[in-house]
Structure 1
Amino acid sequence: MSGKKNSRQDAEQQLAALQHQLVLLQQAMSRQQRGAVVVLEGPDAAGKGGIIRRLGWCLDPRWLHVWPTNAPNEPERTQHWLQRFWQRVPQQGHWAVFDRSWYGRVLVERVEQLATPEVWLRAYDQINAFEQTLQQEGFVLVKIWLDISAETQLKRFTERYQDPAKQWKLTAEDIRNRARWEDYVLARDEMFTRTSTRHAPWQLIDANDKDQARLAVFQLLQQEFSKNLSMTPPLLPAAVTTFFAGTSPHSDASDHNA
């Protein structure tokens, strides 16, 4: 038990260091007007919420937008199916994290027969074009699949069911989706084949261990966001450097107001 506790403490310390690095990356990307889009997909109980919380705890919320994706509402059903995602693309210098995404069309809508084969088959090319456009406009796109086994999912469902504080996380949809596990695996594999492109590859993370999955995701984000990014801070205004050039370490405000 002690070894497991120490392992978790080590993971938390590593995560804290990565969180600090992401803060610096967020600041640098904001200064250089570079936006980011992060897609988090995976089975129910894969750990998407826990990762998003840890991003929210460390990043500046003024430049971070989190979008949970549910079934489209009535007005959205009358629009082009990608329109609601276009409307959530962040402005340059900001980050958007999608808790599930446009991939619902080729996953849940396919498996649950909410879209015809003609509709979800043509969605692959539409998705690739959408993502290519984002990258052409300068956005950093990171697509993450959090992978867990059916056994891990059942264990986490059971823990939620037995914890009154977490029971609300379980839905009838979770149970329904689990009953079609193999159908979702088939849809996922075809999704990887059709939409993991050279410029927008899927990043598969083993999420059976939550602590290690969080570390892997943060390491991946640090790696992707730091590409072609200058971390050199901007020059300070002359008035600031002049002010502090005449300030000794032991002086206080009264020295300057005398």
Structure 2
Amino acid sequence: MQLLGLQRTLVDNHRGCIFVFEGWDAAGKGGVIKRMTAGLDPRGFEVHATKAPTNEEQQYPYLHRFWSRIPKYGKIGIFDRSWYGRVLVERVEGFASNEQWLKAYNEINYFEKFLHQQGYIIIKFWLHISKEEQLRRFQERQDNPLKRWKITEEDWRNREKWDEYETAVEEMLERTSTDYSPWVVISGECKKSARLECMKIAVEAITNLKDD
């Protein structure tokens, strides 16, 4: 309910808000987003589930497809995975060259800085779980017919490269967390606590705008 009340603050101040969700597979990103949006006015937000770029999208500079998804002033844009795919999955899986993903750090920082200068609030959540907890959740999904659709062969393959992803994550957090677009690391070991913490941070981000 607090977020619903604060949606009006964005409209009144002609500001936009962007929440980015990244994290380990099965860390609970979808659950957080579902709870966060449950009480929002659906006219004031949009959720973008980022997938691999299409052949058409690959004909443009990397960030092109994200520019078109930036919310209008007065609205909230929520990204379930995002432009950080270039320095995470594309880096680890070899879909981007070393030159491309190394260059992406500066490209992303400039992108976010420009959005900040144009009046956008940007908060980036990294949902973290241990390797052991991820395995438990994978096995739970595998064994439950109602949840089996959530687990894929790709998830298992990604897990085999945990150490490589961990290196990429640590470098991403170090090189792209800024005053104007900070990363917030959330422990996802307890799903309920993670959801509450993300909600609290989201409310504070917009409340600070109201208090300016």
| Aligned residue among 50, 54, 74 for 1:69 | 50
1:104 aligns with 2:85: yes
| Aligned residue among 87, 98, 102 for 2:68 | 87
Give distance in 1, aligned partners of 2:43 and 2:179.
32
CA displacement 1:64-110 (0-9 Å, x = unmatched): 10000010011001111101000000100010000000000000000
Identity of aligned residues (%): 47
Give distance in 2, aligned partners of 1:226 and 1:200.
16
Q: Aligned with 1:164: secondary structure?
A: coil
Coordinate RMSD, CA, aligned: 1.2
Give distance in 1, aligned partners of 2:175 and 2:100.
15
Contact 2:22 2:125 in 1 (8 A): yes
Q: Aligned with 1:74: secondary structure?
A: coil
Give distance in 1, aligned partners of 2:144 and 2:12.
44
Q: Aligned with 2:8: secondary structure?
A: helix
Counterpart of 2:195, as a letter, is R
Higher deviation after alignment, 178-187 or 194-203: 194-203
Counterpart of 1:59, as a letter, is L
Q: How many residues are matched? A: 212
TM-score (norm 2): 0.97
Deviation at 1:33, TM superposition (A): 2.1
| Aligned residue among 186, 199, 209 for 1:205 | 186
Counterpart of 1:136, as a letter, is Q
Deviation at 1:198, TM superposition (A): 2.3
Gaps of 5+ in 1: 1-19, 232-258
Gaps of 5+ in 2: none
Contact 1:28 1:230 in 2 (8 A): no
1:152 aligns with 2:99: no
| Aligned residue among 136, 143, 147 for 2:117 | 136
Give distance in 1, aligned partners of 2:211 and 2:20.
24
Counterpart of 1:25, as a letter, is L
Counterpart of 1:94, as a letter, is K
Give distance in 1, aligned partners of 2:81 and 2:208.
25
Contact 1:105 1:120 in 2 (8 A): yes
Structure 2 counterparts to residues 206-245 of structure 1, below 5 A: 206-229=187-210
Give distance in 2, aligned partners of 1:29 and 1:91.
10
Which has the larger Rg? Answer: 1
Deviation at 1:230, TM superposition (A): 5.5
Give distance in 2, aligned partners of 1:178 and 1:33.
42
| Aligned residue among 38, 44, 54 for 2:35 | 54
